[in-house]
Each structure stands twice: as C-alpha cells, then as structure tokens.
Chains A and B, each alone.
Chain A
Amino acid sequence: DVKVTQSSRYLVKRTGEKVFLECVQDMDHENMFWYRQDPGLGLRLIYFSYDVKMKEKGDIPEGYSVSREKKERFSLILESASTNQTSMYLCASRVENNEQFFGPGTRLTVL
C-alpha cells in the first residue's frame, strides 16, 4: 500500500510566522505535488517536483516555497504566513502520468 503522510492534521499559526508543512511518501515515487483546497475552487497546484532538488511553480506559487532534499520528502514553506493562506493543504505523489496518491491533508489556520 502506498502511503503518503503529512506532518500535521491541524495547525494554527499567527500572521507573519514561518510555517513548514512536511510530506513523506514511501513508494519511491519521483513526482510529488502540493495543492491547496478551498471550497468552490477545487484543488489548486502550488508547487511540484519531478525529482530530488527539482521544483517547478504551479498555478499559485506566490507566498510559498518548497524543498526536496530527499526523494521521499517534499516540504512546503510559508515564509510569512498570512490569513489568506488559511486552507487545506494536500500533498500527493505519483509515478509518471498515472494516478496520484494523496496524504490526509493539513488544515492550516492563520490568525
């Protein structure tokens, strides 16, 4: 069974804090993704990575950065959290263009 885990299910932070969201997959997948999910907007791609040390901007990268130092780990960083970054964050991994495997999500609230 493919497993994608995320470091926290729920997180509350204050405006201006630096926030780290971590994602780990155990199936040796090369591709990893970070999405945010908001009601009525579906999933929007923030960043993705096709291999270690590689990263590509998605549709809404502003205010975020990522790190992929190891194949199994893909971190999303909010350099200075703002209230409009309150959202559900989903990590996913996959092999080539096949199905994606998702983590359980992190619900982030920025006060």
Chain B
Amino acid sequence: AQSVTQLDSQVPVFEEAPVELRCNYSSSVSVYLFWYVQYPNQGLQLLLKYLSGSTLVESINGFEAEFNKSQTSFHLRKPSVHISDTAEYFCAVTSKTSYDTVIFGPGTSLSVIP
C-alpha cells in the first residue's frame, strides 16, 4: 500500500520570498509522482509530474520539484512567490502498475502575504 505525507498543513510566506512544500511518500513499488494545485472554489489542476527521466521537473509558472528516491521525497519549490500562488497544493502518488489508483496527501495551504 502507498501513502503520502505532507508535513505542513499551512505555509504563510511573504511575496517574492522562496517557498518549499514538503512531500514524502511510501511505496514498495516504483511510482509516478504529481503535484496538483487547487485555487479557491475550483477543482484540482496538474502543476507538474514525474514519470521517468530527469528527477527535476518544472512547471510553466516557476515551480519545480525533485524526485529523491533514497529519501522518498518529492518536495515542491519556488524561488519567488506571487500573490496569485495562494492556493491549496496536493502531492499525489500512483504505482507504475497499470490501473492503479492515485493516493493524495492531505494538502498544504500556501498563503502569500503582500
């Protein structure tokens, strides 16, 4: 069975400061990893994903995440946040086995302070 831990339920940060949202997972098999973002009153949308290849993946709006197999982590980082980044962020994992479900973490609420 897989599980996902997001240690920080709420992260306040000042505008233009860097931020890291932590995600750790447990799994006995190889995995795919995802970060989703949820803006207020909306559904979730994909921010970035790791399927294979380079362990560092980037989004179009400046976020990046690094897959660390030895530490079973997939932390999300941004060097300089904007007010518009205020949202709920979910880390998710699924095994590489066909037809497996996705396990979501409990979410981290990022609040960017002007």
Contacts and interface: CB of A to CB of B under 8 A. Distances in A.
Given A43-B90, A50-B99, A99 B46 contact: yes
Nearest to A100: B102
A61 interface: no
Given A96-B98, A98-B51, A99-B34, A104 B42 contact: yes
A40 B42 contact: no
Interface string A85-103: 0000010100011111111
Main secondary structure, interface of A, reads: strand
B42 A42 contact: no
B101 interface: yes
Main secondary structure, interface of B, reads: loop
Interface residues of B, number: 26
Interface of A: 4, 31, 33, 35, 40-43, 45, 48, 50, 58, 90, 92, 96-105
8 contacts: A31-B99, A42-B105, A43-B44, A97-B94, A97-B97, A99-B34, A99-B49, A104-B43
